[in-house]
A = this chain, B = another copy of it.
């Protein structure tokens, strides 16, 4: 079998990790990488470009892995450029998991553009993309009836990298935290998309979706290698999305990332017949897992029907050799 030729687009930490993983896979070949910042990614040892068009012109490829940002509207022009070059897309863009949720018209347009170009496009990742959506849908596969779905992702950030601790607001006072939430600078992107994907998978029309981002206040002093958080300061973030049908809450996704979180885990709980409960103790490690699922979806996207696809339309991703 000829290897699938991959171009990595976006060379932040996740992008570089993903590109390196592509290089380890028998069935894939990294032919080039693209980043708007000239010079990044030299350690990959592949030709580097600052535009997709330039990369593709010199290095024909089959799939682009895109790790440039979280917002669908900002990704659209790049996606169209990639489609026009005839490449399939696997992307960590959080809103691309289910872009119809926030931007149905634009999502349909992107779907049409992919179909016209004869390529398939997928948004995935570990969250959104796996633990708070696909895994819940998979679990429901053994249910005769689903009345409600709850998902928790509880992460203790005290052993994680300092950037993540800052990102969740650890060490801030409450006012500062709320100001950053209001400015859109704190908060996980994609929770509503996870919720919308589950609802879509279960064939549910939601009448209402809500989301709240709140600080978790440290009940006592705590510390990581990188910072100290005093009792009463912000230890991290609690983000909850809820979906309703006919006024009744049927979906709840509960993401908590804070210093000193007890019983960290991913958990899916289905009320139904039979009731189901599934736990990943310790919670799936985000960074390794995101690079993995992006790469593991590459062989699935090249055989998918053209258009904007979701994780629930493709075969289950599994670790490729």
CB pair A316 B319 closer than 8 Å: no
The 0/1 profile, CB within 8 Å of B marked 1, for residues 104-126 of chain A is 00000000000000000000001
CB pair B203 A320 closer than 8 Å: yes
A140 on the B face (CB < 8 A): yes
CB pair A277 B282 closer than 8 Å: yes
25 contacts between A and B (CB under 8 A): A24-B144, A24-B145, A130-B141, A130-B142, A138-B317, A138-B318, A141-B316, A142-B288, A142-B292, A142-B296, A143-B296, A143-B319, A144-B319, A145-B319, A146-B319, A201-B318, A203-B320, A203-B321, A273-B292, A274-B285, A276-B284, A278-B278, A312-B318, A313-B315, A315-B315
The 0/1 profile, CB within 8 Å of B marked 1, for residues 279-306 of chain A is 1111011001101110110000000000
Q: Which residue of B lies closest to A317 (CB)?
A: B141
CA distance A33 to B311 in the complex (A): 34
Name the distance in Å between A146's Cβ and chain B's nearest Cβ.
5
Which chain B residues border A222 with CB–CB below 8 Å? none
CA distance A295 to B144 in the complex (A): 8
Query: Which of B202, B292, B316 is close to A134, meaning CB atoms less than 8 Å apart?
Result: B316
Main secondary structure of the interface of A (DSSP, over half): mixed
CB pair A292 B138 closer than 8 Å: no
- Known contacts being A138-B316, A318-B137, is A144 close to B292, with CB within 8 Å? yes
CA distance A311 to B318 in the complex (A): 12
A135 on the B face (CB < 8 A): yes
A189 on the B face (CB < 8 A): no
CB pair A319 B202 closer than 8 Å: yes
CA distance A288 to B279 in the complex (A): 20
CA distance A277 to B315 in the complex (A): 21
CB pair A273 B288 closer than 8 Å: yes
CA distance A82 to B151 in the complex (A): 41
Q: Please name the 4 residue pairs, one residue from A and one from B, whose CB atoms are nearest each other, closest first.
A: A141-B317, A142-B289, A203-B321, A140-B319
CB pair B284 A142 closer than 8 Å: yes
A180 on the B face (CB < 8 A): no
Which chain B residues border A319 with CB–CB below 8 Å? 140-141, 143-146, 202, 272
